[in-house]
């Protein structure tokens, strides 16, 4: 069917008909690509579950998903109904998977601060930090908590390192608190993450843990704890053989233990666009798989009786598959490593069964597996950025396959090296563009020189650091890992120098306010349209991508922010920074506010007098903030309530306002305790208030 010329003078009905026929023609022509949309619809169902502000009943959700799947199978008899039936089934399957997982991981969550109390339990994880250690405990008993109230896991911070390893039973005195709520509407929801991790409380220890005997009938360890113990032991040996920042980064590359990397160093990697090097994902597993595969093939080729009689290529692929599986387990089986393992595993399995691997189908299958096994991962930045980068790379190299083959044909050694560097540049540009919206949405930062940094750092990682990491793991059973870790550290020092150098360049990082969620959805859909289709109509995806980026123009940071406990308040100054009521209080909350608003360093409220821009005027008892014709009374002392409320459009009080204040709007300690943190916009047409509770609703993971 040929495209039909469309005249602007044609009747609207005819124009719509021509557009529809053109759209349907392209859709049918690319029917082989339709299955690639199934993970997209499953992800849409998962996103729909997390978007709700109420908890849907599980039984009707599962019944609806079952009915949709049965209907999709029944629709196979009628071709015209197959596609819509599969779409509905995929969406409901994703929704049901998320709802079922949320119910399956349910465990008690601490409702209020508790302590000091004695905690007894089995160590699940031991995470070294730049200062001290963080342990995760599966409690068998917590003082003043009934057995039915025990959380599945507790996370406790220690001031010093600990000799204990996962699987040990310990007793520690600690102060426990519920997982913290988001610092403002739209911010990272740690309570949701904690719910799916079965983490019911966080806190800090008041002393060093003590060893204890396991309770009667409780084994000393489970297989997960045993694996965690191996990770902890390997991490400790790496850091002992390679002290300093190089050792912590080496441990991150081998065992996935990134918590010990100093924040400043991690920030340099992030701002240089090299944060992916610290996270075990496709780059690392792909390099390890390639190194093991070609090394095994070379060794087996040196043994003629084996090379001539047996399929050594398949043996090498099986060996590489086993190695990357063990590597995935050793690294903690994170979302990026699981995705990378599925991708690399499919390629190796294709070698074993003598079939070609279809990369676009592989990424779709990997996404589907990860989403159905851990639906909550689809709502996280790691999953989104990981799959966005891989999907974009697959689409790019699929489109460039013929041209790249022409460039490599009859190329000499020097030209091949140049094409390799060009490939790194292509890869970096594509992944940067693909992950940019997720970086802006989740981290409010964009690394401007990431292409240069990756062009320098990736070859060092692939040709030097990863091979030495493999050799170190092979030498570790013999106690000789230092022989390989020392040269590995030289490469890490080189990559660190690149990260530090690039971040020192002017304008290395661009800070941006948080993108509206609708804008991110538009960009994601437009990007998928570009990646999945292959005909010219794929370029229609640029329209929603452009609209999504234009939504940044609608992003306006709040004029006033109130923390969940009501004791910390911030007002926006004329230069875009925030002035805070208590500069030393709730530092993490202040960092979140500044990051999401792309604001500069926070200043303090004046003890008396006015701020530099004149918006904030204070006395020792109260302050007044004026913006867009509105007046906001900010109470410092309860005695000032009655007088400060007079004539105010909004009152913010750290104590219950009660009947002492008759302002049109009041945000007091009772409101923040019930509704969570508040964000306020002072518009010429009125005052708009958003709360954490209204934004995320009452879900399983919300703590009263």
Q: Reduced to 3 states, what is the DSSP secondary structure of residue 86?
A: helix
Q: Reduced to 3 states, what is the DSSP secondary structure of residue 347?
A: helix
Cα(489)–Cα(623) distance, integer angstroms: 54
605-618 per-residue burial string, b: 16 or more CB within 10 A, e: under 16 = beeeeebeeebbbb
Contact call for residues 469 and 488 (beta carbons, < 8 A): yes
Contact call for residues 641 and 660 (beta carbons, < 8 A): yes
Sign of the torsion formed by the C-alpha atoms of 319, 325, 329 and 331: positive
pLDDT of residue 152: 93
Q: Where are the domains of the chain?
A: 12-104, 114-221, 237-389+446-511, 517-554, 560-696
**Pick from 338, 328, 330, 322: nearest CA to 373:** 338
Cα(295)–Cα(301) distance, integer angstroms: 10
Cα(62)–Cα(97) distance, integer angstroms: 9
Question: For the whole model, what pTM was predicted?
Answer: 0.85
pLDDT of residue 1: 44
Q: Which residues in the chain show pLDDT less than 50?
A: 1-3, 220
pLDDT of residue 359: 67
Share of the chain above pLDDT 70, in %: 95
Contact call for residues 199 and 135 (beta carbons, < 8 A): no
Where would I find the H helices in 242-334?
245-255, 263-271, 275-278, 282-301, 304-309, 312-330
Cα(625)–Cα(566) distance, integer angstroms: 17
User: Strands 169-177, 114-128: parallel, antiparallel or unpaired by DSSP?
Assistant: antiparallel
pLDDT of residue 220: 46
Selecting from 3.30.70, 2.40.50, 1.10.287, 2.60.40, what CATH number does the domain 114-221 have? 2.40.50
């Amino acid at each position: 069917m040929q495209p039909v010329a469309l005249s602007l003078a044609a009747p609207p009905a005819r124009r719509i008909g021509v557009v529809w026929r053109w759209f349907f023609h392209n859709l049918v022509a690319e029917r082989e690509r339709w299955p690639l949309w199934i993970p997209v619809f499953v992800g849409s169902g998962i996103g729909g579950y997390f978007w709700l502000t109420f908890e849907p009943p599980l039984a009707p959700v599962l019944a609806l998903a079952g009915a949709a799947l049965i209907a999709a199978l029944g629709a196979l008899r009628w071709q015209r109904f197959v596609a819509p039936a599969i779409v509905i089934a995929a969406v409901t399957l994703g929704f049901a998977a998320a709802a079922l997982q949320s119910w399956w991981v349910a465990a008690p969550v601490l409702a209020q601060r508790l302590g000091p109390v004695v905690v007894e339990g089995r160590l699940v994880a031991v995470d070294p930090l730049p200062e001290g250690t963080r342990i995760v405990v599966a409690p068998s008993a917590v003082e003043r908590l009934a057995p039915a109230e025990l959380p599945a896991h507790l996370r406790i911070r220690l001031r010093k390192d600990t000799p204990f390893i996962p699987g040990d039973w310990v007793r520690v005195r600690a102060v426990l608190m519920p997982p913290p709520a988001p610092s403002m509407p739209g911010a990272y929801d740690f309570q949701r993450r904690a719910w799916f991790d079965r983490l019911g409380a966080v806190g800090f220890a008041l002393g060093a843990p003590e060893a204890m005997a396991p309770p009667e009938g409780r084994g000393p360890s489970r297989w997960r704890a045993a694996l965690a113990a191996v990770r902890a032991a390997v991490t400790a040996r790496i850091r002992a053989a390679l002290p300093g920042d190089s050792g912590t980064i080496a441990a991150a590359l081998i065992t996935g233990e990134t918590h010990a990397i100093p924040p400043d160093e991690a920030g340099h990697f992030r701002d240089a666009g090299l944060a992916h090097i610290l996270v075990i994902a496709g780059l690392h597993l792909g390099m390890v798989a390639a190194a093991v595969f070609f090394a095994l093939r070379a060794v087996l080729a040196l043994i003629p009786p084996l090379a001539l009689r047996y399929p050594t290529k398949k043996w090498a692929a099986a060996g590489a598959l086993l190695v990357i599986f063990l590597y995935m387990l050793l690294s903690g089986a994170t979302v990026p490593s699981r995705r990378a393992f599925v991708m690399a595993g499919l390629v190796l399995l294709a070698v074993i069964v003598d079939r070609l691997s279809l990369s676009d189908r592989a990424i779709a299958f990997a996404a589907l597996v990860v989403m159905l096994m851990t639906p909550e991962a689809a709502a996280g930045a790691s999953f989104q950025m990981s799959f966005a980068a891989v999907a974009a790379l697959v689409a790019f190299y699929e489109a460039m396959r013929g041209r790249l083959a022409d460039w490599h044909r009859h190329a000499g050694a020097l030209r091949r090296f140049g094409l390799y560097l060009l490939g790194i540049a292509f890869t970096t540009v594509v992944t940067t563009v693909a992950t940019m919206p997720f970086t802006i949405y989740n981290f409010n930062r964009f690394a401007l020189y990431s292409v240069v940094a990756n062009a320098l750092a990736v070859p060092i990682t692939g040709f030097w650091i990863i091979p030495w990491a493999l050799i170190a793991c092979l030498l570790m059973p013999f106690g000789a890992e230092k022989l390989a870790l020392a040269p590995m550290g030289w490469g890490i020092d080189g990559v660190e120098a690149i990260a530090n150098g690039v971040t020192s360049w002017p304008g290395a990082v661009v800070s941006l306010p948080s993108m509206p969620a609708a804008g991110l959805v538009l960009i994601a859909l437009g990007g998928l349209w570009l990646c999945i289709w292959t005909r010219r109509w794929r370029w229609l995806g640029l329209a929603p991508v452009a609209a999504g980026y234009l939504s940044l123009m609608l992003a306006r940071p709040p004029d006033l922010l109130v923390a969940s406990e009501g004791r910390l308040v911030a007002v926006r100054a004329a230069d875009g920074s925030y002035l805070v009521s208590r500069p030393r209080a709730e530092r993490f909350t202040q960092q979140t506010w500044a990051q999401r608003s792309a604001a500069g360093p926070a200043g303090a409220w004046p003890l008396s007098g006015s701020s530099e821009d004149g918006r904030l005027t204070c006395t020792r008892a109260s302050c007044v903030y004026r913006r867009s014709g509105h007046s906001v009374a900010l109470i410092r002392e309860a005695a000032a309530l009655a007088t400060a409320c007079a004539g105010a459009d909004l009152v913010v009080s750290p104590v219950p306002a009660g009947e002492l204040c008759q302002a049109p709007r009041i945000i007091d300690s009772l409101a923040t305790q019930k509704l969570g943190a508040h964000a306020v916009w002072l518009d010429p047409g009125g005052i708009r208030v958003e709360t954490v509770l209204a934004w995320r609703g009452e879900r399983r993971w919300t703590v009263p």
